[in-house]
Structure 1
Amino acid sequence: MASNNNNELYTGNMSTQGGSNSSINETDNTGFIGINVPLLSNDTIRQIREKRFSMIKPWSDFFDKNRISRPKDFSDITKRVSHNVVYFQANYLVIVLILLVYIMITNLLLLLSVVVIGAGFYYVSKMPANEPVSFFGGRFVADQKKLYIILGILSLILLYLSSGGSALFWIVGVSSTIILIHASFLEPSIESEFAETV
C-alpha cells in the first residue's frame, strides 16, 4: 500500500510538472531559428506608441522660422544636429513614417508584398512551436522554425521583385537629408536647452 501511494504521489508530481512545463511552452514564444524573441502584444505596441508619440514636440516649435539661421562653422553644425536630433526625435520619426506611407502608396506592389509578409509572419507566430503542421493534404510537413526560414526566403524574393531595396535606400536618403538640413539650420531654443539640463 505504501509503495502504491508513493507511486501515485510520484506520478502526480510528474503530471503537475508536465502541466507547468506545458503552460510554460504555451506562453514561450520561440522566435526565428530557435531564438527566443517575445512577440509584441497589442498592449506592448500601444505602450510603445503612446510613449513615443508623447515625446512629439509642438510643430510650431519644429517649424519656428525665427530660429532658422545659417550655422557659423562645422562645430556649430555638430552642436545643433546633436541637440535637435535628440530633442525632435519623435518629430523626425513622424516624418520618416510619412515618407514610408508615401512610398507605399506610390508602389502598390511593395505595399502588397509588405502586407503578405506581415500576414505570413503573424500566421506562423500563432502556430505551435514544436508541433509540425501539414500542408497540401499532408504532402508537405514543416514545423515553425522551417516555416520561418521559408517565409524569410520568400520575403527576400518579394521585396526584390517589388523594389523594396531601392525604396529603403530612398527613404533613408531622403529622411536623412531632411533631418540633417533641419537640424543644422534650426537654432536650439532656450526652453529646449533648459529641458535637457533638468
Structure 2
Amino acid sequence: MSAHQPSPRYFELLEQYRDAHENGLLVQGERQPNVFTGKSLKPHIRVISDLLHACDARTLLDYGCGKAVFHKAEQFDLDGETISSLKEFWGLEKVTLFDPGVEAHSQLADGPFDAVISTDVLEHVDEQDVDFVLDQIFSRALKVVYMNISTRPAAKCLPNGENAHVTVRPPEWWKARIEAIAAGRGVAFYCALEDGGQTIEVFRNGC
C-alpha cells in the first residue's frame, strides 16, 4: 500500500497483537502471559541518550512502545547504574507513548516531537505496510529518529501461529526503504540492524 494508507493486512496483524497483549503467547512451547513489554528498549537507552543530548531534544515519541516497562518503572538498573526516571535520564520534558496493540497507548498523537524512537517494531510490520509506518514515524519527528530492526525470525509466534517477525529482510533492503521515506525531510536518523540481538550494521544520516 501507499505511505499514507495501511493495507487490510495491517489491521489483521493488529488484531493478533491485541490478542497477544491480552492473552499472552506460546514461546518455544511455553505460555508467556506478559509479552511485548517494551524490555527490548534497554540495550538502546544509552545510544538514544547520546542522540537526544546531541540534538537538544526535549520531547519524544516512543512509537511501538509495547507495555512501556522502562518508561513506567520507578527505577531500574542500567549497567550497574540505578536509573530512577528514564525521562530524566534522557533530559526530556515530555515523553509520549504509542502502541496500537495496547489500549492504554493506542492513540497516536500528531506531534511533532523533537525525537521519535522505534525499537523492535518494524520487523513486526508486514512488508506492504513498512512505508506507511515509516511515514508515521518520520512525519512526527523534528530533529532525529532512532530505530533498531531485527533481520532474523523471532522466537515468538503470534496467536495464529505465524512468526512474529513478519518482515525479515537484509540490511540493504531496510536501508533503501528508510532512506526513501526520510529523503527531503531534514530529519537525522540512526538505524541499528540486528541479528540475534547483536548489531550487525548501523546506518545513519545527520547524527
TM-score range, shorter chain: under 0.3
Based on CA coordinates, which of the two structures has the bigger radius of gyration?
A: 1
Name the TM-score, length of structure 1 as normaliser. Answer: 0.24
Structure with greater contact order relative to length (CA < 8 Å, sep ≥ 6): 1
Name the TM-score, length of structure 2 as normaliser. Answer: 0.23
